[in-house]
Chain A
Amino acid sequence: MMLRNFAREIRFLSKDRGALFWLALSFILSVIAVSFGVTEVREQRETIANLIEEDAADRANALEGQEDWGSAAYYAFHFTYAPPSDFAFAAMGQRDSTPWKHRVRMLALEAQIHEADTRNADFGLVGRFDFAFLAASVVPLLLILLLYDLRASERSASRHDFLVATAGSSLSLWFPRALVRVAGLALLLLVPLWVASLIAGASGMVTLQATGIVVGALAVWWLIVELVSRIKASPSVLLTSLIGLWLALAIVVPALSKAVIETNNPIPDGGEILLLQRETVNDAWDLPKEATMKPFIETHPEWREYAEIEEGFEWKWYYAFQQVGDQKAAPLVEQYREARLRRDRQAGIAALLSPTSFVERAFEKLAGTDAVSMIAYEDEVRDFHAELRAFHYPLMFPEKDYDSGLLAELPLYKPES
């Protein structure tokens, strides 16, 4: 019985040019969004592959002919990166506003990390047109256009009562009629996503979760449209109200909560960290050497017996003050890190007020492009840098003889994910 209702409404839909137009548009938009994402991920992967290749060659070049550990450390750059996940094509998320690659060397690290902050272009209010944006912001609008006048248009054609009288009950009419549209929309959106997931090699579990998110979001918006269109108003009044609601839920609430969260959780500028660290490092040149070595030994007591620095330049003093630069910046860095995490947590709560924010965040999480993932990458860079120091200090402080053969054991950056 229900199946027959659906079959009938599918035939009905196939003659409804307006609805077919919106459905076709959904499919086209989904294909575009997904291809943008796949292309972007491919480009990022290529960039990474090229940089990995160059990285080895550059370092070999830089290390060639070096005669002491200090210069070897000074000239050797190491490429670090967060590779896009297999599902990143669907949601570029924070990758667009947060660096996902850094070339670092043994110098003070935080300046190297935060240098990029000042260079990264912002995508502005709208963000990138990826699948997450489509599903979160555009799809509700398409759903509204597909559903808002199901009843109202029949009412204004004075066909409503006739239809209902013929159907006997609303359930065998409006429900299948709406469901066919919602299911069509879901399918036309999801097929490109599924194909891209297959091509990108995303895990079935992740794709399934993404499907669940899209279906859930459609269900929520359907409920909203359903509740509003019970009002016996003209189609244009309904459309205006629904678009107003969409503006509120998809644009105003996210923007407002973002503004409130950002004001309540001020974040030190990445540039401040950069400046503080540069100043610390620059000042160190003019300070007495103990001023550097004392705080260094406090954190690295194992090198106490080698901490005596003679007049003039010594590499271990140089690297000690780089390290102290990081130590000085540490509280600010921690503040920066914590504030971003706090903002993210609060944004997670605020997302409960807006299906749009909720979908976007859920996709970013699945794609590993959320704030937490980006901060995790920064932490990986810190860990790697610590490994570099752990490699060099035992050679540098006891002033071991330079042996280029040992350089083969230099730590290599390996992304965790």
Chain B
Amino acid sequence: MTSPLEARSLSLVREGNTVLDDVSFTVAQGEIFALLGGNGAGKSSTLLTFLGFLEPSGGDILVNGTSVGSDVALARSAIAYLPEAAALYGHMTAYENLDYFLDLADKLASQAEIDAALERVALLVEARSRRLQSYSKGMRQKTAIALALLRETPILLLDEPTSGLDPIAIDEFHDLVKALAEGGQTILMVTHDVYGACQVADRVGLLRRGKLVGSFAAENNKRINTEAVHAAFAEREAV
């Protein structure tokens, strides 16, 4: 069976700098894979490569077994992407934003489904008809997560999904992600949040300066391979 997401000896050069160097991993269907790494390690770049915004300078990147380069639109249609900075429109309400982006994704959703999604991310009812410019960072993040849920795509790419969320919201979010994976969605998330990643992910990959230096199963979501994690972050200062 082909994996929904696969990086094969992926290398990436951005403006002359090697950002990813011979990175290989797969994410199986229904699996949560967390990519951990320090600032500038190449986490966001990895996601952008899966979305076809960056072209590999070596190796290949596949979505559902098809090279992204050969059919970008197909790859994108299988993916809901939560960007690093929640990039919804500030001058529109949550409802208007969801309406716009769902339509853009060619996805129909009823008002009840939209409300259910907003309920799942715990966005206050009173806030839903307010413009996003009056939202806190976490509220914007929740709206963006609701959008990703509503897309109902087989694959989710999440870039720092819990940044800006309070501890309770983070817990709720992790439960949500696990439920989605149980429902069959494949999830690749990138984060600096070591403990969070180990709590939610099935497997964790460690990215250090563009190289995948290790990956391990986060067994029972408890044991953390501290040595490897620290090694992954060790060269942060040098970046």
Instruction: Name A residues whose Cβ lies closer than 8 Å to a Cβ of B.
Output: 1, 4, 8, 11-12, 15-17, 157-159, 161-169, 172-173
Given A158-B87, A161-B51, A165-B76 in contact, is the A8-B103 Cβ separation under 8 Å? yes
The answer to whether A161 and B48 have CB atoms under 8 Å apart is yes
The answer to whether A157 and B87 have CB atoms under 8 Å apart is yes
Further contacts, 9 of them, CB under 8 A, given A1-B106, A166-B104, A168-B76: A12-B100, A15-B92, A16-B91, A157-B87, A158-B84, A162-B87, A165-B76, A167-B104, A169-B76
11 CB contacts below 8 A, A to B, read A8-B103, A15-B96, A157-B87, A158-B85, A161-B83, A163-B104, A166-B105, A168-B77, A172-B104, A172-B106, A173-B104
Tell me, in angstroms, the Cα distance from A162 to B51 when the chains sit together: 10
Tell me, in angstroms, the Cα distance from A15 to B100 when the chains sit together: 11
Contacts of B79 in A (CB 8 A): 165
Interface residues of chain A: helix, strand, loop or mixed (majority)? helix
The answer to whether A8 and B104 have CB atoms under 8 Å apart is yes
Query: Closest CB-CB distance, B200 to chain A, in whole Å?
Result: 23
Contacts of B83 in A (CB 8 A): 158, 161-162
Tell me, in angstroms, the Cα distance from A164 to B51 when the chains sit together: 9
Determine the residue in chain A with the shortest Cβ distance to B85: A158
The answer to whether A166 and B101 have CB atoms under 8 Å apart is yes
Contacts of B104 in A (CB 8 A): 8, 163, 166-167, 172-173
Query: Closest CB-CB distance, A359 to chain B, in whole Å?
Result: 34
Tell me, in angstroms, the Cα distance from A159 to B81 when the chains sit together: 12
The answer to whether B48 and A167 have CB atoms under 8 Å apart is no
Determine the residue in chain B with the shortest Cβ distance to A163: B104
Contacts of B48 in A (CB 8 A): 161
Query: Closest CB-CB distance, A200 to chain B, in whole Å?
Result: 41
* In the assembled complex, B213 has its CB within 8 A of some CB on chain A: no
Determine the residue in chain A with the shortest Cβ distance to B53: A161
Identify the interface centre among A15, A161, A167, A169: most chain B CB within 10 Å of its CB. A161
Contacts of A157 in B (CB 8 A): 87
What 3 A-B pairs come out closest when comparing CB atoms?
A159-B87, A162-B87, A8-B103
Query: Closest CB-CB distance, A174 to chain B, in whole Å?
Result: 11
The A-B contact count (CB < 8 A) is 57
* In the assembled complex, B73 has its CB within 8 A of some CB on chain A: yes
Contacts of B92 in A (CB 8 A): 15
Query: Closest CB-CB distance, A307 to chain B, in whole Å?
Result: 88
Determine the residue in chain A with the shortest Cβ distance to B157: A165
Query: Closest CB-CB distance, B145 to chain A, in whole Å?
Result: 13
Identify the interface centre among A8, A157, A168, A173: most chain B CB within 10 Å of its CB. A168
Query: Closest CB-CB distance, B75 to chain A, in whole Å?
Result: 9
Tell me, in angstroms, the Cα distance from A159 to B85 when the chains sit together: 8
Given A8-B100, A15-B92, A15-B96 in contact, is the A168-B73 Cβ separation under 8 Å? yes
The answer to whether A11 and B100 have CB atoms under 8 Å apart is yes
Tell me, in angstroms, the Cα distance from A15 to B85 when the chains sit together: 22
Tell me, in angstroms, the Cα distance from A330 to B103 when the chains sit together: 73
Tell me, in angstroms, the Cα distance from A165 to B77 when the chains sit together: 8
Tell me, in angstroms, the Cα distance from A67 to B160 when the chains sit together: 106
Determine the residue in chain A with the shortest Cβ distance to B148: A166
Q: A165 is contacted by which of B51, B85, B89, B99 (Cβ under 8 Å)?
A: B51
Contacts of B96 in A (CB 8 A): 15
Contacts of B51 in A (CB 8 A): 161, 165
Contacts of A164 in B (CB 8 A): 53, 76
Tell me, in angstroms, the Cα distance from A248 to B222 when the chains sit together: 67
Determine the residue in chain B with the shortest Cβ distance to A173: B104
Contacts of A166 in B (CB 8 A): 76, 81, 101, 104-105
Determine the residue in chain B with the shortest Cβ distance to A167: B104
Contacts of B53 in A (CB 8 A): 161, 164-165
